[in-house]
Structure 1
Amino acid sequence: MSLTFHLDPPVDRALRDGIVALWVDVSNAGGSVGFVPPVGPEAIRPELVKHLVAMAEGRTRLLVGYDEEGTVAAGAFLTHNTHRLMRHWVWLYTVMVHPRHQGAGHGRDLMAAAADAARGFEGIEAIRLTCRGGTGVDRFYEACGYKEVGRVPGAIRVAEGDDRDDITMLLPLL
C-alpha cells in the first residue's frame, strides 16, 4: 500500500480530525512529536490550531499523506522563517507516520515529499528540523540525507529525571 502526498490540502473538518487522530496515535505509540503518552485529542487540538493559524497567515505549509482509503496516514508542517537573515531555509515540524504504516518505507517517502515541496518554495536552500535524542530517530533522518548540525544536551524534559538532547539536523536542497 502506498501513500499519496498533498501539499496544502483544503482544510476541512475531516482533515483536522484526521491530523488530530494521527497525532494522538503517533504520540501514544511513543513518537516524539511534542507530547508524552498518554495523550488525547483535547491536548492535541490547541497545538493543531496554532499550526492552522500559521497556515492562514502564510507562514506554514502542510504536507499530508493519505492511504488508499483516503485516511490521513502521515503528515508534516513546513514553516518559513520570519527573520530576514534566515529566509533561505524552512523548518520541518511534527513529522508523523501512523504506526500501522510504519516499517513500509512511508517515512522515507514523507521525507522525500517534504524535500520536494521545499524545493518548490522560492529561495529555499535547506530544511532544518529538530528531534528528541534517545529515540533513534536521528539515525532515520541521517538515512534520509540530513546531517546533525547541533545538539543541546538535556534540553527536552520528557519526565522528571528523563532529560533528552535536542538535536538539530539540516538537509541542503541545492
Structure 2
Amino acid sequence: MPLTFTLDPAVTPALRDGILDLWTDVTNAGGAVGFVAPVTREEVRPEVVRHLVQMAEGRTRLLVGHDEAGQVAATAFLTLNTHRLMTHWLWLYTVMVHPEHQGMGYGRDLLTAAADAARTFDEIEAIRLSCRGGLGLERFYTSCGYQEVGRIPGAIRVASGDDRDDVHMLLPLT
C-alpha cells in the first residue's frame, strides 16, 4: 500500500513524536541522517525542535508520508535558500523512510513527492541535497534523477578513523 504524502501538515504532538520516533529508528538502523547509532529519542529531540522552529519561521517546509495505519513513515524537509543569489534552488534535508518500509519503493516515492512539492514554490529550479559517502546513497539518488555535482573527501567523521565524503547532489526541475 503506498504512503500518503502531505506538504505542510499541521504540527501536532502526534506528528512531532512521529518524526522523533522515525528519526531515532532510522538512525539506529544505520541511516545517515545526522547522527551515528545508537541514539535515544532525547538525543534526537533537539534536532526535531530545530527543524520545527525553522518551519514556524517559514524557512523550512515539511513533506511527511503516512502509512496505511496513519503512522509517520517518511519525511523530507524542504529548506529555502536565503542567499540572495541562490534563491532559485532549495535544500532537501533529513530524507527518511522508516526501516520497516524500506525496499518497497517508498524512498523513490518520497523523492518524487519532494520534487512535485518544490515545483509549487515560486521560482525554484532545482533541489540540492548532500549525503554521506560510503553507503551507496549517491547511487540511489542518481537512480532518482539527481546528479553528483560535488564531493568533499573526508568531511564527515562518523568515528575516529572513519571519515566519509560529503557528496552533493542536484536535481534540476526545469
What band does the TM-score fall into relative to the shorter chain? over 0.9
Alignment of 1:92-107 (within 5 A): 92-107=92-107
Aligned equivalents of 1:163, 1:136: Cα separation in 2: 15
Aligned AA (2:123): G
SS of equivalent to 2:11:
coil
Correspondence 1:168 to 2:168: yes
**Counterpart in the other structure of 2:141:** 141
How far residue 82 of structure 1 moved from its aligned partner, in angstroms, is 0.6
**Counterpart in the other structure of 2:14:** 14
Give structure 2 stretches of 5+ with no counterpart.
none
Aligned equivalents of 2:75, 2:40: Cα separation in 1: 18
**Counterpart in the other structure of 2:154:** 154
SS of equivalent to 2:16:
helix
Aligned equivalents of 2:126, 2:11: Cα separation in 1: 26
Correspondence 1:53 to 2:74: no
SS of equivalent to 1:37:
coil
SS of equivalent to 1:32:
coil
**Counterpart in the other structure of 1:83:** 83
How far residue 7 of structure 1 moved from its aligned partner, in angstroms, is 0.2
How far residue 115 of structure 1 moved from its aligned partner, in angstroms, is 0.2
**Structure 1 length normalisation: TM-score?**
0.99
Aligned equivalents of 1:19, 1:50: Cα separation in 2: 12
**Counterpart in the other structure of 1:71:** 71
Q: How many residues align?
A: 174
Aligned equivalents of 1:6, 1:25: Cα separation in 2: 21
Aligned equivalents of 2:111, 2:47: Cα separation in 1: 22
Aligned equivalents of 2:21, 2:138: Cα separation in 1: 24
Aligned equivalents of 1:64, 1:132: Cα separation in 2: 22
Aligned AA (2:22): L
User: Following TM superposition, where does structure 1 have runs of at least 4 consecutive aligned residues deviating by more than 6 angstroms?
Assistant: none
SS of equivalent to 1:155:
strand
Aligned equivalents of 2:8, 2:44: Cα separation in 1: 20
Give structure 1 stretches of 5+ with no counterpart.
none
The superposition leaves residues 121-145 of structure 1 with CA deviations (integer Å, 9 ceiling, x where unpaired) of 0000000000000000110000000
Aligned equivalents of 1:31, 1:17: Cα separation in 2: 19
How far residue 2 of structure 1 moved from its aligned partner, in angstroms, is 1.0
